Each structure stands twice: as structure tokens, then as C-alpha cells.
Structure 1
Amino acid sequence: MNELKLSPCLLRKPCTLWRRLLLLGVLAALLSGGLAWSQRETLGLAARGYVFGYPLVLADLTRHDFVSDIAPANRLLHMPAFPDADYRVFVRPNVDTLYTQAWLDLDAGPWVFEVPASQRYLLMQFLDAWSNVFASLGSRTLGSQGGSFLLVGPHWDGQVPAGLTLLRSPTRLAWLLGRIQTNGKADYPSVHAIQASVRLRSLQDWQQGSASPALPFAMPQSSRPSPLYQMRALSAQDFFARLATLLQDNPAAPADSAAVAELRQLGVHAGAAPQWNWLQRQAVRLGIWLAGREMQRALQDPQGLVNGWREAPLHIGDYGTDYGLRAVVAMVGFGANLAADAIYPNANLDGQGQPLQGGRRYRLHFAAGELPPARAFWSVTAYDGDGYLIANPQGRYALGDRDPLRYNADGSLDLWLQHETPAAEQQGNWLPIPASGPFSLTGRIYLPERRLLDGQWHMPAIERL
């Protein structure tokens, strides 16, 4: 029996910034004299418990909306086209790849997942209910070869049929988020053919040769609020009660034993909702508020910027006990992949530390020999202040190495960021931005080279003209 255990990323750097920021406010409250010791202890336990359980509860809210409004559990869903400026399902969508998704209930399995052989970049990542990537199938791990895999839950104990490689999720719930390189709209037919060869079906159907067709994506008709909004609207009691229920089938990792012990101190046990008195409920509410505030502060802290760009730590997607980072990433980029598969630097400041503002003119200059070091491809996408694509007559939302860019004589490259149409010789390198209001840029570097992973290369500063 072959059990595939993919090392998420060999390079890891400690990320203490998130934990320091998170604990700062908690310690301040704990050391204040305004609360009795038992209440201060409850406040600290609640703040840390909220951060610890945040991705699990958010995953369940996201799963519920997906299977209610978009596609049932255990069925593949293929995106047939890029999003446009009217797309509001989630923020910061890419226009580099077409997505494949499925939410899995592994207690209803096991399931057989098949990936076709392909010469182009593709990534089929599986995340557990805590948002950790437990398998990354694609160009980096499989090369141009495909594969057939048996997906099982944490308690499955059976015989793996010949021809299948075992993938075991540590939790009952899991999420497949796949991406296939798409070189513009004219490339859709080729990508659709690859999507048609990505298959998910029950083991019984696989053994009988029965198909389980994927579903096409359709915009959801429901007007329910986003999972993040639902998360913020949960009461303290509802959050921890939901967490307690989810812990039954989606256990924490062995390394999380200290965090689980603190949840028990708070009265949160797997399968048992907490019972608090009035004073305890107020302390828990305050702890949640404090944790949320520190998570927001971590996002806004400028200390982690390089040339105005925020670069995610290299252990993103494989968080270990870095619960602060895991929670913050879930809040702003739920479903993040491993750094070894793709890296996404973000910028909302120019090189002088000033916010990027629509109506102004900017230049992003890559020196000769300093283009984004990608073994697959790279792009830069512009988003409005809410994280959505920016409407423009050209329908151009991103630029990258697959576009017919015009390079300077010395091999350097200039991308022009402005709302008004630039001079004719610059239009091929023009990325439209809003006429007013804030905007941001996201770089996407697929299969980053070692010098990027080693921190030897960074995105250049955005120059205001």
C-alpha cells in the first residue's frame, strides 16, 4: 500500500510577529486591575480559543453556503470562465487559472480522485477543516504525470485497491481547491478538456466504471451574507458551541494538545456546548473582540513590508502551531496554498509608503534580469478598495509574462498603472486602475524559484509619477 505524504514546504521561517501582535492586547487586559482574576483568565482563554478555532468555524460556514447554494457535497464543480468586474462571490479572484472545487464529507467515502497528465501548470490542493494543506497534487509534486488517489478520512481502515495511492485527511471535512493554467479566453477549450479529465467519484463507482459528472458553475441566487460576515455576527456562545460540535469529527492535531486543554478550561469540549454564567459570557465576548482587533492590527502592521509589498511567511498553508497566522490568513485569503506552489505578494502602498490611489499615475519597474522568478508563469492583478476586479473598457484585469508585453532595450520592463489611456507605445503594458478611491495590486508567481523562497528576490517598489 502506498500512502502519499507530501511535504508541504521544505523551507520554513518562524513567524513570531503574528503571535506577538495577538498576545499584546491580551496581556494588557490580563494585567489590568479592572477584572477579577477568574474573569481575566477567562478573557485570555477566550481570546486564544477564538484564534485557535477561527479557521475551523469559518470553514464550516463556507462549506454550508457552498453546498446549499452552489453544489452538493462530494461533487466536482468546474469554473468555465474567468471572473469579471461583476463577480462578487469572493474577493481577489485570479484571472490566470480556472478553478475546480469540491467540499468533501469523507465519512461518506472513500472517494477516488483522478488527475490527468498535463504539460501545463496545474494544482489540486486538499485542505483539512483547519485550513492546513494535507495534499498538493500537480506540477510540483507529480510533474507532467497524472495519478489516481483514494481519499479517506481519519478513521478509515480498509484495503487500498491496486492502482490507487492513499491520501488521508486528518479531518472529516475537506476542501478541494484546484487551479489550471489558462492562457487567456482563447485557451478555454483546452482547459475545459483537462477539467473533463479531473474526476471525483465514490470507490464503488470507480470499481464499477460508473461516472459522476462534474457540475458547471452558476452564480448563486441566494443573497445570504458572506461567511466572513456571518462569522462576525456569531455570538460568543454560538461560536464556541459550533466549535465544540465540529471538534467531534474534525479533531485538532496532536501538536495542538495545549490549545485543546485551554479550550477545556474555558468549558469547551468536543460535542458539548459551553455553559457560562453572565460574568463569564461578558469576559468571553471581550476576549473575542480583543482577538479580532489584534488580528486586524496584524494585517495593517507595516513592519512586514518589503518595498511596500506584504509577503506571506513561507509556512503558509502548513501552519503548525502558528495559530495567529492561520487565523489571519483564513480571514483574508481562506484556502491559501503552499508557498512552494505559488506566492502572492500584495501591495496597497507605493514606494514612499503612501496608499495607492485611483486617478494617479504609477510605474512598476522590473530591472533587467529581475523579473518575477517563476518556473511556471507570473502576473500582476489590480483590485479596487473592496478587493474586486476593476471595470474598464479593455476588460483587462491583469498583466503577466503570457501577455505581449513591450520590454525596454536593456531587457527591463515597465508596467503602467493609471486610469486614463496612456500613450500608444505604453498601452500594451497598461494595467487600468480606478478613477478614484483606493486600490491594490497582487502579484502571483507560480512555482517560485529557490531565490524567491530564500528571500533573495522581492517585488520592486511601486513608483508614483
Structure 2
Amino acid sequence: MYLPWLSTIASILSMLPDRAAAESNLTVQEAAELALVYAYPLLAYKKTYLALSPRLPINNIGHARQLKMPADQSVVKPNVDTLYSTVMFDVSRQDLIVGIPNIPESQYALFSFHDLYGNNFAVVGKEDYGSTKRVRLSHTLANNTAVGASRYSAAPSETRLWSPTTVGHVLVRWLVDGDNLDSIHALQNATSSTTIPRPLESGERTLTSASTINWSASAPTKAEEALQLLCQLDEGDTPGKLANGLTVQETLAIAGFSDNATNSGVDMDAANRAATASATKAGEDALQNVNHGWSVLRPDIAGNFGEDYSLRMQIAFTGYLMLTSPSAVYPSWSDGTPSRPLEGQALHIGPDESYIYTFSRRPPLQGLGFWSLTAYNSEGFLIENPRKIYKIGDRSDIAFPSGKPVYGPDASAEDDGPFQILVQPADVAPPTNWMQNWLPGPSGGGSLSVLLRWYDAAQQLLDGKYEYPRVTKQGAIRAE
């Protein structure tokens, strides 16, 4: 396959093939496959960049003021627990300053920092608010004398963080609990994003920003599109090593993707199949079973993937900008039939069928942690229903079989034990004693997915010592 666009890579690559090839046993085809696995998450960044950049300039902060509703189809499988504040950062030539307001002790808020490829390289949470009033973010390569930012020490009440790429995202999650929207809006308004220039001394080099490349360019296939983006990046946005300790640029050069040269010997279809298979297997291998058909991503690699580029690619497909564990855990359930790794089982209910999730007891959480079970239709959007109930969790008015509340001011810590959540069509109302625990599915039945999310999960949720919900399918429970 002839790939004329690959001539866009920087001219420095023309100096690399001889040395790289001599030090590596990689074939041209293998190098292309490795580069593709590395490159694929760039498509996820591109999608978010193109969606946000028209209304959110780089290094500015934007806020979501309302939770998603069924009519909002801009985000697939949206979180309806939290409001978000977002910064698309660029620290190639300046430092980003994120100002943190005075956050009440009762308000869950988490500041997460993600690189270009989706790695969650840092979080700032409740335990940091007492000593941190602002976060100063620089590029990792600025943490040495070659670039110069190491001349600056952290200011009082300042946390210093280092991004492995010039661009990425800062996400702030604000937990919505009852009628606290006005309070969250005030906190959002008090959260700031500014920049400080990073002056260079004589002879020091600058970093080329990934925000300067052509993110809107297209290619005949997604694989070619991903590689086209990778070929435009330099070392400030391609951290880590690939096979045999080679850099990304050296691997691209072995594959023949160098300046003013293409390599018709690369079978891109085969490379794409190999990359996809590698990512799928990595997703399967990274899951650890807990119990009752549930599995979780291994806590040591969830959200920050290091040099496991195959897993990083798989997560870019299914959960780009994933948080590290235990800040967030996304369990997936399967009944043993084939399902996509990390996404769990696709469900289907007939017009007179239901699923019941039987919890052994309240899920154990840390501090201000929370959990939810959210239902989505076959397209991944919230399910329209007259009750406007889109998720059930620890802030819901759910009850034990005895009728006593599971959560809320009248709940007793001593009263713990099994409780159930009913998922059945929105047009099939259950008896009164089930109404509080009813999560509506699609009217008339149909395909759906139900996602369980833990935030600030206790260790028992990670190691399987907590008995996860039993999921059973049965006839609908109808009101008489």
C-alpha cells in the first residue's frame, strides 16, 4: 500500500534508520504494528479536541453546568453523578496554573490530570485541599537544565506536577448530591486556569507543541489517520520506549515512515489486524475476576498504563481519560458468553422481562466516595422514562426488602444487608414496594447496557472480598 502522507515526518528521522535497524531485530512490518498500537489513542484525543476547541481555547477552563439528559447525545454512556470542569492544556512553552477554591469538606471534588494518550498521571483530591491552593503544571522535559523550568521552586500552597506530553486534559469532577447545583456552580466559577511563561536561557531549546499539528486532517483509514498524527509529533509528545528500547521516532524509521520516503512494503491491513488483536488480548489479560461474573481492571495499571501500549490502545477505544484506581473503578459483568473486554455484557430484555441486581450489602467506600448503576439504550444514551430516573446509587431513595432506607438521614449503619435493584421496561410499572429500587429500561424492551461505577472504592471492592451483585434475568415484576 502506497502511503504518500508519511513524508510529513520530521527530517531528523532520515538520520535514524541505520542505527535503529542495526540495534533491532524488528522487521519493517513489526515496526509498523508497534507504531500503530502506540498511535491509536491519538484518535481519541483528536475527537475530544475537535469537539471542544471551537468553544474552549487552549489553557482556558470550561464548565458543564447541568447533568446529561436523554436528549443530549453528544457523549456516549455519560456519567450522571458529576458535573465537569475541563481544561485542554498546552505546557510546551508555558506552565499551567490551576487555582483551587475553598472546597467544603462535604463536597466531593477531584482534579485529574491526563496526558495526550489518556494516562491519568496525577490526581489532586480532598486530602490535598488543605495544603494546595493551586497546581502548577509543567512538561516533564522542563524538569531538567535543558529546558530551564527547574530554576523555579514551588510557591507556598502550590503543588508542582509534570506532564509527559505537551498537551492533555485537566478534568474536575464535582459530585451532584440533591440540590447542590448552585453551590457547585459557585465552586466552578472560583476555579481558575492561567499560564505563566517559561523563559529560556541562551542556548536552551523549546518544545514543539502538539497543538500546532493538523488535528483535522483525514486519511483513508483510521489506522493511517493515527499514524499520520504520530508522524507529526516529536519527543516532547512521544514518551517511553518500544521494542528493544527504541524510541517512537526510531521505530517509525525502521517501518520506513521517514521524511520524504514511504514504504510500500508495509501491509497496513495486516498491521491494523495485528494491532487490534494485541489491544483486545491486553484488555482481556488486564481483567481480574472478583466474583459473580464481575471483573475489574487490575488496580496497578488502571488509568495509567506505563509502557503497556496495547492496553492503552484498548482503553482509548472503551474509556479514554479513565481515572486511576481507587479514584474510580469500573466493574464489568458477563454471564460467560462472549463480550468485549472492559465493556461487559450487552443485555436485552423483552417487553415482559427484567433483570435484578442483588447486592449483598452496601458497597464499602472511602471518605466521600460514591457509587451508581446507570442504564443506557442500545446507542449508549440515557433511557427516556416518565420518572426521569437514569441511575440508582448511594444518593438514591432505595430501600431494603424490609422497607427501611439503605441510604439517607434515616438510614442506620447497623441495618445492613442484601438489597435489590430492578431493571425492567419503563412502560412496565412494578408494585409500590419496588418503585424506589426501579431503574427503568427501554420501553417495550430492547437492548441496553447497565454500568456500575465505584468512586473512592475501598480495598474490598478491588480484591473481591466484597460480594458483588448477583445478576439474574426473569419475568417483569408488575403492579397488580
What TM-score does the superposition give when structure 1 sets the normalisation length? 0.76
Post-superposition offset of 1:405: 1.0
> Residues 49-198 of structure 1 correspond to what in structure 2 (within 5 A)?
49-68=35-54, 70-118=55-103, 119=105, 120-139=107-126, 141-142=127-128, 146-156=132-142, 157=149, 158-160=151-153, 162-163=155-156, 164-184=158-178, 186-198=179-191
- Write the distance in 2 (CA, Å) between the matches of 1:428 and 1:150: 45
- Write the distance in 2 (CA, Å) between the matches of 1:302 and 1:130: 18
Asked if the contact 1:311/1:345 (under 8 Å) is kept, the reply is: yes
Asked if the contact 2:275/2:310 (under 8 Å) is kept, the reply is: no
Asked if the contact 2:34/2:242 (under 8 Å) is kept, the reply is: no
Alpha carbons of 1:401 and 1:325: their partners in 2 closer, same or farther (altered >3 Å)?
same
Asked if the contact 1:52/1:324 (under 8 Å) is kept, the reply is: yes
2:237 to 250, 254, 257: 250
1:357 to 348, 359, 368: 348
Secondary structure in structure 2 of the residue aligned to 1:110: strand
Alpha carbons of 1:440 and 1:265: their partners in 2 closer, same or farther (altered >3 Å)?
same
Asked if the contact 2:362/2:417 (under 8 Å) is kept, the reply is: no
- Write the distance in 2 (CA, Å) between the matches of 1:169 and 1:97: 25
> Residues 316-465 of structure 1 correspond to what in structure 2 (within 5 A)?
316-347=302-333, 349=335, 355-359=346-350, 360-367=353-360, 370-375=361-366, 376-409=369-402, 411-419=417-425, 420-434=428-442, 435-457=444-466, 459-465=468-474
Letter in 1 for 2:364: P
Alpha carbons of 1:347 and 1:259: their partners in 2 closer, same or farther (altered >3 Å)?
farther
Letter in 1 for 2:424: Q
> Residues 279-294 of structure 1 correspond to what in structure 2 (within 5 A)?
279-280=265-266, 283-293=267-277
Q: Which has the larger radius of gyration?
A: 2
Secondary structure in structure 2 of the residue aligned to 1:48: helix
Post-superposition offset of 1:452: 1.8
Do residues 203 (structure 1) and 196 (structure 2) align? yes
Letter in 2 for 1:431: L
- Write the distance in 1 (CA, Å) between the matches of 2:347 and 2:304: 31
**C-alpha distance after superposition, 1:391-444 (max 9, x if no partner):** 111111100111111112373211111011111111011000113322111111
* Number of equivalences: 393
Q: After the TM superposition, list the runs of 4 or more consecutive aligned residues in structure 1 that deviate by more than 6 angstroms.
A: 229-232, 297-303, 350-354
Asked if the contact 1:374/1:446 (under 8 Å) is kept, the reply is: yes
- Mean alpha-carbon deviation: is it higher for 306-315 or for 170-179? 306-315
Letter in 2 for 1:99: Y
Asked if the contact 1:350/1:464 (under 8 Å) is kept, the reply is: no
Secondary structure in structure 1 of the residue aligned to 2:35: helix
Higher share in helix = 1
Tell me what 2:14 maps to: none
**C-alpha distance after superposition, 1:310-345 (max 9, x if no partner):** 422211112122212111111111100001211111
- Mean alpha-carbon deviation: is it higher for 317-326 or for 396-405? 317-326
Secondary structure in structure 1 of the residue aligned to 2:53: helix
In structure 2, stretches of 5+ residues that fail to align are: 1-25, 143-148, 198-214, 340-344, 403-415, 475-480
- Write the distance in 2 (CA, Å) between the matches of 1:230 and 1:461: 47
- Write the distance in 2 (CA, Å) between the matches of 1:274 and 1:426: 67
- Write the distance in 2 (CA, Å) between the matches of 1:463 and 1:233: 44
Tell me what 2:297 maps to: 312
- Write the distance in 2 (CA, Å) between the matches of 1:319 and 1:443: 22
% identical aligned pairs: 26
Asked if the contact 1:46/1:266 (under 8 Å) is kept, the reply is: yes
- Write the distance in 1 (CA, Å) between the matches of 2:280 and 2:253: 27
- Write the distance in 2 (CA, Å) between the matches of 1:126 and 1:151: 9
**C-alpha distance after superposition, 1:105-136 (max 9, x if no partner):** 11252221122242122111011112211210
- Write the distance in 1 (CA, Å) between the matches of 2:111 and 2:287: 33
**C-alpha distance after superposition, 1:158-214 (max 9, x if no partner):** 424632332121111121111111114x2211111221222111237xxxxxxxxxx
- Write the distance in 2 (CA, Å) between the matches of 1:325 and 1:458: 27
Secondary structure in structure 2 of the residue aligned to 1:377: strand
Secondary structure in structure 1 of the residue aligned to 2:303: coil
- Write the distance in 2 (CA, Å) between the matches of 1:416 and 1:121: 28
- Mean alpha-carbon deviation: is it higher for 143-152 or for 168-177? 143-152
Root-mean-square deviation (CA), in Å? 3.1
Secondary structure in structure 1 of the residue aligned to 2:188: helix
Asked if the contact 2:293/2:335 (under 8 Å) is kept, the reply is: yes
Asked if the contact 1:384/1:439 (under 8 Å) is kept, the reply is: yes
- Write the distance in 2 (CA, Å) between the matches of 1:73 and 1:237: 26
